[in-house]
Amino acid sequence: MKPHRHANNKTESGSQPCEISFDRSDEKKLLINLAGSWTLKCKRPSADVVKKEITAGGATGIAFNTTGITEWDSGLLIFLGRVIGLFLKNGITVDKTGLPNGAGKLMDLAAAVPEKKGARKKSQKESFLFRVGSESVAFVRSSGDVLTFVGEASTAFIKFLTGKARFRRSDLTRIIQDCGIEALPIVSLISLLVGLILAFVGAVQLTMFGAEIYVANLVGIAMVRVMAAVMTGIIMAGRTGAAFAAQLGTMQVNEEIDAFKTMGISPMEFLVLPRILGLTLMMPLLCLYADLMGILGGFIVGVGMLDLNMVEYYNQTKAAVPLSNLWIGLFQSIVFGILIAVAGCLRGMQCGRSASAVGDATTSAVVTGIISIIVATAVITVITNVLGI
Amino acid sequence: MSQKTPAITTKNLEIAYGDFVIQRDLNFTVNRGEIFVLMGGSGCGKTTVMRCLTGLKAPEKGQVFLGNISLWEAEQATRDQMAHNIGIVYQSGALWSSMTLAENVGLPLGEFYDLTPQEIRELSSLKLALVGLSGFEDYYPSEISGGMRKRAGVARALALDPQFLFFDEPSAGLDPVTSSLLDDLILELRDSLGTTMVLVTHELPSIFSVADNCVYLDGDTHTMIAGGDPKRLKTDCDDPKVHAFLTRGGKNRTG
């Protein structure tokens, strides 16, 4: 009779525990008697119990008597796997005829397809030097990929300038809307708060010298020259750069990019170019908007908390912020736009073919975008200082 | 299998998305240890019916009995318990891409049983060996072929020793040889485990080689219009749609 392997009562505490006993009436063959419930929910004996028995008795084979088993599932299989594996390795014959019909067939099925030679992955400890070398090679390769991508993007841009680039204008419009108008709420909030924070921090120090009016200088210069561009850049890296990587990554997974390539349509022109153009066009406008919101934040603190006159604050800001600062800020925002879009599209195009690869691509796009922004800010700051701007 | 015990029964089952009825008046029984095929043309709602049988989509009307428990009338705790008895092999394999094959199989074992990591590893290896993937424990789904992914999906579905095993388009995307090997595996697993299996497919070779019983779901009338042994249906069924389906449009193609 076939035991009820999946009996509904297997969770019931009243189920019989698994039992094992040995019969040595045949000196050459150890008969293993299994009884009770052999399920994953029951505590099963170790295969060593059988090993000890066979070592003590000196039998050259084992057989099973399982008529006493009331229910079984993979719990029995795992025990059998261990016992059979242990004895086959030591040249002891295993007679499976006494096993429950299904269990015997399953053990045979598991052994039916032998392990493919060389398929198993070898866990090897890599030396420090090996890892340094591998990382260096990977870095050089990745730099090469970045250069190739930038080169292809530049070629696509040149084609765009000469009117030969092929992409849908509606895509560009949609991307401009996504990068521009739809980003305004978050840019407003962050820029206003940054302006407020700068003003608060400055006010605490400047009030000690009776120089509250210079809060306008502090906020105005900081926002217009650097902070608006950097904050907008970081927002857009997290928002739009990540979205670009996820969109293109998903297209890689779904083989949509391959479909473009096989039809002779350049993904660089059709997918990457409108994204770079859209973000690069919108970044200076967002930066300008962030300038105004940041100054408004400072204005709220100056007028509301420091009792400065509204016109006085406005005039002080106007006098303190030279136009060159505005140009520097806008220039930075254009650079950031290019960097974020390139990072997002690059990681998306480099994406693997699995769902987790899309996640990795998105994370990498944000990290690359933010690092690029900080490095570019440092470089531009040094250059403007050297040039005395 | 002389005595037939009902394992899955549907009574006046109706499945819809909003006002759009996918299938209605579904009444069929799948017996224990049987391989049952839900067949029909593309878009007739086979997969949706399977989702309803597995607790993923609630019906509009009617009942689904797994054993003698009404799936959709049972309390959530009972349904959760029943879920352990259901294994599903998805069309794409649906393996978790961030985990190795052994981890894919071992995850449900670790969640629902008090097993040591060693035991989980051994069981995962055993389940993978059952589907011919011995040695591939540490591979990620992205590193193996489509046929292997499907077999790994079977190993994962078998992890909790389910009473019911559902396959969504098992042959889809597989070459004829791999598809035939998968059919053999389905038969071997049924013979060894005695599991009740429901296949959603429109692949005729698979239907004829594995199915004990089937129903034909019609996309036009939105209900089942035939049922029984597919080999017998092929010769005996008078319905032109079913006949055309089982004979590839009634044409004797050889190439």
Question: CA nearest A41 in B: which residue?
Answer: B113
What pLDDT shows up at residue A333?
97
Greatest mean pLDDT range, A37-46, A84-93, A95-104, A176-185:
A176-185
The DSSP bridge partners found for residue B199 are B37, B167
Q: Which residue has the tokens 């759009």?
A: B20
pLDDT at A51 over 90: no
**How close B249 gets to chain A, by Cα (Å)?**
32
pLDDT at B1 over 70: no
- What end-to-end distance do the CA atoms of chain B give, in Å? 38
**How close B127 gets to chain A, by Cα (Å)?**
8
What pLDDT shows up at residue A23?
86
Indicate the CATH number for domain A15-107: 3.30.750.24
Q: What is the mean pLDDT of residues B63-79?
A: 91
Give CA–CA dist B167/B169, Å, rounded.
6
Enumerate helices (H) and strands (E) in chain A, giving the number of each. Answer: 15, 4
pLDDT at B254 over 60: no
pLDDT at A49 over 50: yes
Q: What pLDDT digit, counting tens, does each position of A175-215 carry? A: 999 999 999 999 999 999 999 999 999 999 998 898 999 99
List the single residue in A106, A120, A123 with the smallest CB-CB distance to B192. A106
Q: Which residues of A touch B98 (CB under 8 A)?
A: 354-356
Q: What is the mean pLDDT of residues A350-357?
A: 85
What pLDDT shows up at residue B180?
86
Name which of A42-46, A320-324, A342-346, B11-15 the model is least confident about. A42-46
By three-state DSSP, how is residue B197 classified?
Answer: strand
Report the percent of chain A where pLDDT is more than 70: 96
Give CA–CA dist A185/B152, Å, rounded.
47
What pLDDT shows up at residue B255?
35
pLDDT at A254 over 90: no
What pLDDT shows up at residue B252?
44
**How close A36 gets to chain B, by Cα (Å)?**
18
Q: How confident is the model at residue B251 (pLDDT cuts 50, 70, 90)?
A: low
Neighbours of B165 (CB within 10 A): 23
What pLDDT shows up at residue A15?
62
Contact B137, B128 (CB under 8 A): yes
Return phi, psi of residue B36, to 5°. Answer: -115, 135
Q: Which residues of A touch B85 (CB under 8 A)?
A: 6
Q: How confident is the model at residue A19 (pLDDT cuts 50, 70, 90)?
A: confident
Residue of A78, A107, A123, A253 to mutate for B, most B C-beta atoms under 10 A: A78
Q: Which residue has the tokens 């049952």?
A: B36
pLDDT at B141 over 50: yes
Contact A191, A287 (CB under 8 A): no
Count of all residues that appear for chain B in the document: 255
Question: What's the one-letter identity of residue A315?
Answer: N
Q: What is the mean pLDDT of residues B22-26?
A: 95
By three-state DSSP, how is residue B61 classified?
Answer: strand
How far, rounded to the nearest angstrom, does the alpha carbon of residue A202 sit from its chain's CA centroid? 38
Return phi, psi of residue A360, to 5°. Answer: -65, -40
The DSSP bridge partners found for residue B65 are B9, B70
Give CA–CA dist B133/B136, Å, rounded.
6
- Spatial neighbors of B215 by CB under 8 A, at least 6 apart, are B26, B28, B36, B37, B38, B39, B224, B226, B227
pTM greater than the 0.80 cutoff: no
Contact A273, A165 (CB under 8 A): yes
Is B192 part of the contact surface with chain A (CB cutoff 8 Å)? yes
DSSP calls for A210-222? T-GGGHHHHHHHH
pLDDT at B112 over 60: yes
Q: How confident is the model at residue A4 (pLDDT cuts 50, 70, 90)?
A: very low
Residue of B193, B195, B196 to mutate for A, most A C-beta atoms under 10 A: B193
Q: How confident is the model at residue A13 (pLDDT cuts 50, 70, 90)?
A: very low
Q: Average per-residue pLDDT in chain A?
A: 89
ipTM of the shown complex:
0.76
Report the percent of chain A where pLDDT is more than 90: 57
Q: Are strands B6-17 and A29-38 parallel, antiparallel or unpaired?
A: unpaired
Q: Which residue has the tokens 């995850």?
A: B107
What pLDDT shows up at residue A221?
96
Give CA–CA dist A275/A176, Å, rounded.
8
Q: What pLDDT digit, counting tens, does each position of A359-381 carry? A: 999 999 999 999 999 999 999 99
Give CA–CA dist B245/B39, Å, rounded.
9
pLDDT at A11 over 60: no
> Where does residue B238 rank: exposed (0-12), middle (13-18), buried (19+ CB within 10 A)?
exposed
Q: Tell me which residue of B148, B136, B181 sits closest to A114, measured CA to CA.
A: B136
- Spatial neighbors of B163 by CB under 8 A, at least 6 apart, are A6, B7, B66, B67, B85, B86, B195, B196
- Spatial neighbors of B12 by CB under 8 A, at least 6 apart, are B25, B26, B27, B61, B62, B63
What pLDDT shows up at residue A14?
53
pLDDT at A306 over 60: yes
Give CA–CA dist B100/B90, Å, rounded.
17
Q: How confident is the model at residue A2 (pLDDT cuts 50, 70, 90)?
A: very low
Name which of A45-59, A306-320, B179-193 the model is least confident about. A45-59
Contact A212, A203 (CB under 8 A): yes
Instruction: Tell which B residues from 117 to 146 touch A, by Cβ distance under 8 Å.
Output: 119, 122-123, 126-127, 129-130, 132, 134-142
What pLDDT shows up at residue B157?
92
Helix (H) / strand (E) containing B22: strand B20-31
Q: Which residues of B touch A1 (CB under 8 A)?
A: none
Neighbours of B147 (CB within 10 A): 19
Question: CA nearest B133 in A: which residue?
Answer: A115
Return phi, psi of residue A348, to 5°. Answer: -65, -45
pLDDT at A6 over 60: no
Name which of A27-41, A335-349, B127-141 the model is least confident about. A27-41
List the single residue in A113, A123, A356 with the smallest CB-CB distance to B97. A356
Every domain range in chain A assigned CATH 3.30.750.24: 15-107
Strand order from edge to edge, sheet including B20-31: B69-70, B61-66, B6-17, B20-31, B223-228, B213-218, B35-40, B196-200, B164-168, B86-89
Domains of chain B and any CATH numbers: 1-85+163-248 (3.40.50.300), 94-161 (no CATH)
